[in-house]
Structure 1
Amino acid sequence: MAIAEQTPTTRLEQSTPETRRRPTALKKFWPQYLAVSPFYILFLIFGLFPILFSIFLSFQDWDGMGEMKFVGLAQYQYLLSDPRFWNAVGNTFIIWFLSTIPMLFFALVIAFLLHQNIRLKGFYRVAFFLPNVTSMVAMAIVFGSVFSDSFGLVNSALTALKIENIPWLSTSLGIKVTIAVMVIWRFTGYNAIIYLAGLQAIPTELYDAAKVDGASTWRIFSSITVPLLRPVILFTVITSTIGGLSLFTEPQVLLGNGGGTDEAGMTIVLYQYNQAFTQFDFGYGSAIAWALFIIASLFAIINWRLVGERDGMKIRRNNKTEAGS
């Protein structure tokens, strides 16, 4: 029995209403799709493609001009035994430790003070946030002058106090401390604004009840403010860690591509920059970038686990309370 050939009219009659509406919907909403398309096009060109290409490059030996040579995991194997890379990792974590703990403590104290009823509160908020939007290149030059071994303002102050000058930019510890001070100066106000937003979400009734009970300012700060800001503190810790692992502008402008004396200021990103854009070893530079991504991801996972554990404990406590009632 022969099968009758379907005509265009027959196919139209057998199509569902949803099928008939789909072309109409595309025609109807094409201006909206066209309006949002630049974002996705730019993301594909300047976001997704570089990410995928860097993965491909990490398995290649390429100087940017000649033919690529596939080397497999050789770049990662060399990275694990590269003393300069591990020196950069150590420098980065020391600078992070010297900067993050004081920075977050000062930011929390500043946010707590700004949360009080003080005059010119708006002015202080702008003043503390201003360093974050200041050109880091210009400020690195300023800090280089302030911490100069011979004519720096810090050593001039030490001389006036009859204290021996400190070679800030020619010793390993001095370089790390100088970079850490720059990070503290730049991001303390930024984190203070984040903490201030968290403080404003805490019910004022808790503070009023504590004051009625005669609690001191320090007791209120340690027993109410800090515990209730724990999720915000964890957020600032992980963002500050990622920012600390990505340090580049401060050591590069302050010390140059060499990282200063004994490469004491050589961070992971600065070392990656040198390998990729100074030595033109793009394959090894890509491998360093993905090693940095893995390290940063580990900290993100730790943060997620800590927040998830806290939320899970809260849910379990609520369930027990509801079951007991």
Structure 2
Amino acid sequence: MIPLEVKKDTVYRKRSLSEKTKDMISGYLYVSPFFVIFAIIGLYPALFSLFLAFQKWNGMGEMEFVGLANFKVILTDPLFWKSVYNTIVLGIMGTAPQLVVGLVLAFFLNLTYLRFKNFFRITIFMPYITSMVAVALVFSVFFSNNDTALVNYLIGLIGMDPVNWKTSEWGAKIAISTMVFWRWLGYNTIIFFAGMQSISNDLYEAAKIDGANKLQQLRYITIPMLKPFILLTVFFSTVGAMQLFTEPAVFLGNAAFSRDEALTVVMYLYRDAFRISSFGTASASAIILLIFIVGVSALNMMITQGYGRKRGRKG
């Protein structure tokens, strides 16, 4: 016969194991909604798009396997390479200035003697939470093709001719990049400002004692200490620039998909999928865009990190 003490010990261990199992199951149940939603709206569409890249399908009939034919069509289409060129140009014009200006604005917002700080912080962040429709309407008025439009009036004061902002090659690019700059400047500024809040004031006090002015403090203290935040904003800005869609589509309206002055890669694949019902080439464009984003982001990060190490050695 098994002693009573051994039986009690076995029952206790079974109960203990059962409690651990219950805790483990409850933990998985708590986090399961995220994975279920991600699988439905994230993983499944990505895998289905990868599958469609090798198919010919109009969205209604049967699929036909065509291998790499969709990629060949895309890579030999001059309009696709025009969209790549537009995406890169708009990305540089719209995002690069906002990173520099956002860093400078965050530095001034972080000054201890600046008055009405909360007002300026809210004002700078307001464009990010403003409705895209309202932004497009305002900029459509500013960059109207009429001679009396605000921007045409201002450039007329310095002797320049009016510009057809929605039909000219560089006019559309300047207008859209200005919209991108205005909308996302506050977002990057707040990220930089949050990073500056984590820098100890002792470093600035020591720099003041050594005779460093504000520009030197920004160059030798703020920027090196903000390197993780700069890398984060560069990464997000690069990915966002390569996925540019809303601003040109809303600003130009229906003409955005019939003209090539501001046609981006995302607009190109959207046109293939929902305008001419060629989901195979649209999916192939999405795969190529993914490769571009990974490559450009890696190159951008390497340049940024290399610049940071170079500045560190000089310091």
Q: TM-score range by the shorter chain?
A: 0.7 to 0.9
Partner of 1:180: 177
Q: What does the per-residue CA deviation read over 1:88-130, in whole Å, with 9 as the maximum and x for residues that have no partner? A: 0000101111112211111011000001021111121111111
Aligned amino acid, residue 282 of structure 2: G
1:186-197 matches, cutoff 5 A: 186-197=183-194
Give the greater-gyration-radius structure (CA). Answer: 1
Taking structure 2 as the reference length, what is the TM-score of the superposition?
Answer: 0.86
Partner of 2:139: 143
Q: Is the CA contact 1:170–1:260 (under 8 Å) kept in the aligned structure 2?
A: no
Partner of 1:241: 238
Q: What does the per-residue CA deviation read over 1:288-315, in whole Å, with 9 as the maximum and x for residues that have no partner? A: 11111111111333355567779999xx
Matched residues in 2 for 1:100 and 1:38: separation?
A: 35
Deviating more after overlay: 96-105 vs 300-309: 300-309
1:192-203 matches, cutoff 5 A: 192-203=189-200
Matched residues in 2 for 1:265 and 1:115: separation?
A: 37
**Aligned: 1:66 with 2:73:** no
1:44/1:22 Cα in 2 relative to 1: closer, same or farther (>3 Å)? farther
Structure 2 stretches lacking a partner, 5+ long: 1-9
Matched residues in 1 for 2:253 and 2:13: separation?
A: 63
Q: Is the CA contact 1:171–1:261 (under 8 Å) kept in the aligned structure 2?
A: no
Partner of 2:39: 44
1:21/1:294 Cα in 2 relative to 1: closer, same or farther (>3 Å)? farther
1:131/1:45 Cα in 2 relative to 1: closer, same or farther (>3 Å)? same
What is the number of residues matched between the two proteins? 300
Partner of residue 213 from structure 2, selected from 213, 216, 235: 216
Q: What does the per-residue CA deviation read over 1:182-221, in whole Å, with 9 as the maximum and x for residues that have no partner? A: 0110111110111112212222222112211222222222
Partner of 1:77: 72
Q: Is the CA contact 1:111–1:192 (under 8 Å) kept in the aligned structure 2?
A: yes
Matched residues in 2 for 1:42 and 1:287: separation?
A: 25
Cα RMSD of the aligned pairs, angstroms, is 2.8
Q: Alpha-carbon deviation of 1:138? A: 2.0
Matched residues in 2 for 1:65 and 1:262: separation?
A: 27
Taking structure 1 as the reference length, what is the TM-score of the superposition?
Answer: 0.83
Aligned amino acid, residue 41 of structure 1: V
Matched residues in 1 for 2:20 and 2:304: separation?
A: 43
**Aligned: 1:204 with 2:214:** no
Q: Alpha-carbon deviation of 1:40? A: 2.1
Partner of 1:271: 268
Q: Is the CA contact 2:143–2:151 (under 8 Å) kept in the aligned structure 1?
A: yes
Q: Is the CA contact 1:172–1:261 (under 8 Å) kept in the aligned structure 2?
A: no
Q: Is the CA contact 1:149–1:167 (under 8 Å) kept in the aligned structure 2?
A: yes
Q: Alpha-carbon deviation of 1:241? A: 1.0
Structure 1 stretches lacking a partner, 5+ long: 1-14, 318-325
Q: Is the CA contact 2:172–2:261 (under 8 Å) kept in the aligned structure 1?
A: yes
1:12-23 matches, cutoff 5 A: none
1:261/1:288 Cα in 2 relative to 1: closer, same or farther (>3 Å)? closer
**Aligned: 1:297 with 2:278:** no
- The DSSP-based 3-state class of the residue aligned with 1:279 is coil
Q: Is the CA contact 2:227–2:308 (under 8 Å) kept in the aligned structure 1?
A: no
Matched residues in 1 for 2:70 and 2:305: separation?
A: 36
